């Protein structure tokens, strides 16, 4: 299976969406390399960065699900790094 390295930038304006967001991230936690969250209290938002190494369709699906949450904005940047599983030939 080929995987891609990507960074997801998430801005949460609606705090009520936080539980759903965390549930979605937990479903893909085995692909997540790292996560950083910053509460920006002056603006009333939370900023989250996710580094992920997963199949392209998994990243796209997760990004789409997150983007449909109320008060949540997401942008995903893909690297040109594509890795193959040792079982791929």
- pLDDT at residue number 2: 92
Q: Residue 12's closest CA among 34, 44, 36?
A: 44
Q: What is the pTM of this model?
A: 0.88
pLDDT digits (tens, 9 = 90+) for 21-59: 999 999 999 999 999 999 999 999 999 999 999 999 999
Q: Domain total for the chain?
A: 1
Mean pLDDT score across all residues of the chain: 94
- pLDDT at residue number 88: 59
State the residue range of the domain holding 54: 2-84
- pLDDT at residue number 82: 81
- Quote the percentage of the chain above a pLDDT of 70: 94
- Segment 60-75 mean pLDDT: 98
CATH number at residue 62: 3.30.70.1150
Pairing between β-strand 45-54 and β-strand 2-12 as defined by DSSP bridges: antiparallel
- Segment 66-72 mean pLDDT: 98
Residue 54 domain-assigned? yes
Q: What is the DSSP string of 6-47?
A: EEEEEEE--GGGHHHHHHHHHHTTTTEEEEEEEEETTTTEEE
Residue 89 domain-assigned? no
CB proximity list for 73: less than 8 A, separation 6 or greater = 10, 11, 13, 67
């Amino acid at each position: 299976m080929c995987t891609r390295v990507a960074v997801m930038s998430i801005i949460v304006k609606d705090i009520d969406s936080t539980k759903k967001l965390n549930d979605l991230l937990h479903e893909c936690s085995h692909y997540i390399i790292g996560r950083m969250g910053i509460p920006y209290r002056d603006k009333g938002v939370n900023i989250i960065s996710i580094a992920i190494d997963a199949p392209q369709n998994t990243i796209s699906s997760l990004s789409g699900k997150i983007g449909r949450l109320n008060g949540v904005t997401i942008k995903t940047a893909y690297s040109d790094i594509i890795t193959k599983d040792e079982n791929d030939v």
